[in-house]
A and B are shown apart, each in its own frame.
Chain A
Amino acid sequence: MRLEYFQMIDRIVDADRGARRLRAACTIPTESTIFEGHFPGYPLMPGVLLTECMAQTTGWLICMLGDFSAMPFLAGIKEAKFRTLVFPGDALEFEGGIVHEGSGYTIAECKGLRDGAKVCDAELTFRIRPYPSPEFRRAFFEWGRRLNLPVPEFAK
């Protein structure tokens, strides 16, 4: 995880197109300027950043299912719950799934786990919009591939 670059996911662990589910893994860094403020002497992973982990996990799932034909933009968060404290160095896994694919939007659900125990969960709404440019789309695709997203070919 590269917190300062908002790159929350280290790798995709499993992606199931048929079940429309994806698992992603990441490790919270032991050091970050974020922990200097949140909180001095008691570093904790902020809940809003766990939400971003859930958004990126389900975002990659939507990208995969749509073969990178359009880009998901986070538009809403519902029922976000942070069930326990998460600390620097913790290894997390996020499991995302699709609740509903609408026209121009997708509703997804995601939960975060540490050693199999749920640490957070939420329902996320994404608007589905065109990529800002073909170059950006290509770069996004390559980023997904580096994370192990199973997208064998770049569809033009």
Chain B
Amino acid sequence: MPDSTTFDKVAEIIAETCDIPRENIKPESHATRDLEIDSLDFLDIAFAIDKAFGIKLPLEQWTQEVNDGKATTDQYFVLKNLSSQIDQLVAAKGA
């Protein structure tokens, strides 16, 4: 399970960036399918996440993997999975 504080931070960023009520943002929420966040708004979210966690979300790599059929959007854009990816990137940075 990802660190719950990571999800909380991500949810707060999404709520603030996209003006979505915090209570509507769940770990199971898919950023685009459930929360209807478009790609431009997701850039703002990515910027805020990059800043907050000191990482660089590999959006281009994820998009490529999805386009190539090597991954599903759920793996990266369901928020509990996104939080888990962030935890891994933070851990890799400190390694």
Residue of B nearest to A125 (CB): B43
* Contact between chains at B56 and A102 (CB < 8 Å): yes
Give the dominant DSSP class at A's interface: strand
A130 to B31, CA, bound (A): 25
Give the contacting residue for B50; candidates A75, A76, A100, A125; CB below 8 A. A100
Asked whether, in the complex, the Cβ of B43 is within 8 Å of the Cβ of A103, the reply is: no
Chain B residues with CB below 8 A from A100, complex form: 47, 50-51
Q: Is the CB of B63 within 8 A of A107?
A: no
Give Cα A86 to B59, complex, Å.
39
Residues of A within 8 A of B (CB-CB), count: 11
Q: What distance in Å separates the Cβ of B88 from its nearest Cβ neighbour in chain A?
A: 15
B1 at the A/B interface (Cβ < 8 Å)? no
Interface residues on B, range: 10 to 19
Residues of B within 8 A of A76 (CB): 40, 43-44
B47 touches A102 (CB 8 A): yes
Q: Is A150 an interface residue (CB 8 A)?
A: no
Cβ of A78 to closest chain B Cβ, rounded Å: 9
Per the 8 Å Cβ criterion, residues 11-54 of B in contact with A are 40, 43-44, 46-47, 50-51
- CB of A37 within 8 A of chain B? no
Q: How far is the CA of A102 from the CA of B42 in the complex (A)?
A: 12
Cβ contacts A to B, 30 pairs, < 8 Å: A75-B40, A75-B43, A76-B40, A76-B43, A76-B44, A100-B47, A100-B50, A100-B51, A102-B43, A102-B46, A102-B50, A102-B56, A102-B57, A103-B46, A103-B56, A103-B58, A103-B59, A103-B60, A103-B61, A104-B59, A104-B60, A104-B63, A105-B43, A105-B46, A105-B47, A105-B59, A107-B47, A125-B43, A125-B47, A127-B43
Q: Measuring CB to CB, which residues of chain B are less than 8 angstroms from any residue of chain A?
A: 40, 43-44, 46-47, 50-51, 56-61, 63
Partner-B contacts on A (CB < 8 A): 75-76, 100-105, 107, 125, 127
CB-based closest 8 A-B pairs: A104-B60, A103-B59, A103-B60, A105-B43, A104-B59, A103-B58, A102-B46, A102-B50
